[in-house]
Structure 1
């Protein structure tokens, strides 16, 4: 095959092609960073009762805290993508950690709700920079281990998403300022580990990315459609993720389960998503991203279909969490190999995933108004089938074609 001998030529222009992107300490710090961003995103919801009491807010007004966070997150992804390659990786990550720390501290100390929303937006900017920066670096920084490492990295996001609400539950929502302040301080030691991050990384399309098995690059004339399909895959699967997380308790109560059981089952769903990413890491060393995502989408579709049966529903939702887990982190290396000429492709799909989370609530809510709560798993099953169809189309569109003989063999 021609891609093995051509890979060394692609890296000869790099000053230090054998220098690892992350030291061991920096890898550990990056995983801790993802625990923190997972916790931050999950802290707003459990603290809503305290927001409402302190600032005299309606439920919809209190929900604006998480909305401000997501708006900041999308903005942070797009902003730091513009700076990627212009500033060093350490600067981008360092500024992101500082913004998130400053925003969390400001949210804890905000004297009024408008100030709290502004600081939530600031924390979201840092969140977006870390989410984008570390996902991008892990996608190109570990060669054929990138998919496995991305799953491990994103599994730590789930760890934080589980621990954050648990901490609020133990301390009490009225003490949320102390939790946000503690969170802000926890960001600062990570700055010391940034010296273990390589400041410049190989651009898309170099050996760092082509080492990973499976998937060829696409021709220019089909690049736009491939990028559109990746965006659709990310918007749709994040919509399912948020839809199950938001509506599983209501659906389970509607079909006869108690409120406490329904809440516990939803926690199990999030737990299975975290476990799934840890489990898929060794699998990713043996199977291609395309195969993993295809199995994930198929399993997710079957699980949601089973969730329409009340007796199977709690277990089926846990299955959804297990199968949906690898899609986000596994798709990024596939995207980088499929469209190495589109430098901003990673930022586009990460931003799209956040938009998918924002749109899922009102869109699914409107569909439920028409069809009823019992139709929740069936509606999500239809969306999952679209994910599977999109994945199969992407496999065909990015299939490696035999290269013309250029003298390299």
Structure 2
């Protein structure tokens, strides 16, 4: 029995496998830019900080499609969203390699972000609707695999072929192949996502067609959005600024600092794989709260800095601790906001994640330039303390609302 036959015979297994592959593909482009940027900016004769233009363009597209994902999923279905988004992303990434002007690459960045946001929000909504916390953890671990492999692909292109274009062509081609796979499995996505004709059957998140305006009026939805803004900002800020903090402010050996900074996403992935094994037994709230406790401890250790190796221990502790938080909070969306608003809220959360990726690391950089790099761990501790407080409020708020309604 070949793989395709198995997928058709066991559609749930096939869809999970395809979702995992899609999240690996989602992480691949994120791992290309950092390694390829020196060659890209040299080729286009642009300054070092021009990367901000491409990141901003991508975030605009990402936030737009994420925010609209609830509407798109309810109108055209999960399979169509995923197939179209993968095709758009693949064509755009290959487009990076053929445009003659920098502004054209920036423009393509909007469409790349739009495709990535739709894939991200669509799969998160689908997994939250149909599967448990463990699958959600493993889904996001696959993103970690992708962002770990991305730099390797780019390095091969730079060292063997002396071009950054190879990396984007390979990943773009993979995205197009994935779009074809989604297209071939449209019937399975539609069948597994179709509302039940049985009026007594429990509705799934993707069965609701709640108007976005109604969800926007829910305070608990906005509180849930804030959680993702803070979390992703802290995650990205740590990844971006750790190397500078260790080498420029604390005199850590560049090789040692580079090794642990570079393996940050690998540690992250291992943490999510482990969380997938224990998620159901531990529970979503315990995963999040214990992860935040570890992140606060690691941030405090990073501020204290009693000896050189404490930096490495602190970064590793934060990385392992925060790994399960994002997928756990995603799985718990319906518990925080209710099934009726969950699909729309997931899209809003993904939009907030894109915004947090841009805003919080940028604020860290401004403070580091104006004051000192030593403000970075203090800022990080503040972010995780705020996230801890907001999460406790988000968990308690639905219960208070339920008690008020019953009263």
Tell me which interval the TM-score lies in, with the shorter structure as reference length: 0.7 to 0.9
Q: How many residue pairs get matched?
A: 372
Unaligned runs of 5+ in 2: 1-8, 206-213
TM-score, normalization by structure 1: 0.84
Tell me how far apart the structure 1 counterparts of residues 361 and 164 of structure 2 sit (CA, whole Å).
Answer: 25
Unaligned runs of 5+ in 1: 1-19, 211-219
Once the two structures are superposed, residues 244-275 of structure 1 have per-residue CA deviations (whole angstroms, 9 ceiling, x without a partner) of: 11110011112121122111111222211111
- Say if 2:91 and 2:176, in contact at 8 Å, map to a contact too: no
Shift of 1:280: 0.6
Shift of 1:209: 6.2
Map of 2:228 onto structure 1: 234
* 1:347 partnered with 2:335: no
Map of 2:37 onto structure 1: 48
Pick one of 49, 53, 57 that aligns with 1:60: 49
Task: State the Cα RMSD in Å.
Answer: 2.6
* 1:23 partnered with 2:15: no
Tell me how far apart the structure 2 counterparts of residues 232 and 404 of structure 1 sit (CA, whole Å).
Answer: 25
* 1:166 partnered with 2:165: no
* 1:388 partnered with 2:407: no
Change (3 A) 1:371 1:35: same
Once the two structures are superposed, residues 150-201 of structure 1 have per-residue CA deviations (whole angstroms, 9 ceiling, x without a partner) of: 1101111111111101221233174221221111111233222533323535
Tell me how far apart the structure 1 counterparts of residues 146 and 241 of structure 2 sit (CA, whole Å).
Answer: 21
Residues 328-367 of structure 1: matches in 2 within 5 Å?
Answer: 328-339=326-337, 340-342=339-341, 343-367=343-367
Pick one of 149, 158, 166 that aligns with 2:135: 149
Shift of 1:276: 1.0
Map of 1:12 onto structure 2: none
- Say if 2:224 and 2:336, in contact at 8 Å, map to a contact too: no
TM-score, normalization by structure 2: 0.85
Shift of 1:282: 1.9
Which protein is richer in helix relative to its size?
2
Residues 105-254 of structure 1: matches in 2 within 5 Å?
Answer: 105-142=94-131, 145=132, 147-172=133-158, 174-190=162-178, 191-193=180-182, 194-195=185-186, 196-198=188-190, 200-201=193-194, 207=202, 224-253=218-247, 254=249
Tell me how far apart the structure 1 counterparts of residues 282 and 204 of structure 2 sit (CA, whole Å).
Answer: 16
- Say if 1:21 and 1:197, in contact at 8 Å, map to a contact too: no
Map of 2:209 onto structure 1: none
Tell me how far apart the structure 2 counterparts of residues 79 and 387 of structure 1 sit (CA, whole Å).
Answer: 25
Shift of 1:202: 5.1
Change (3 A) 1:240 1:67: same
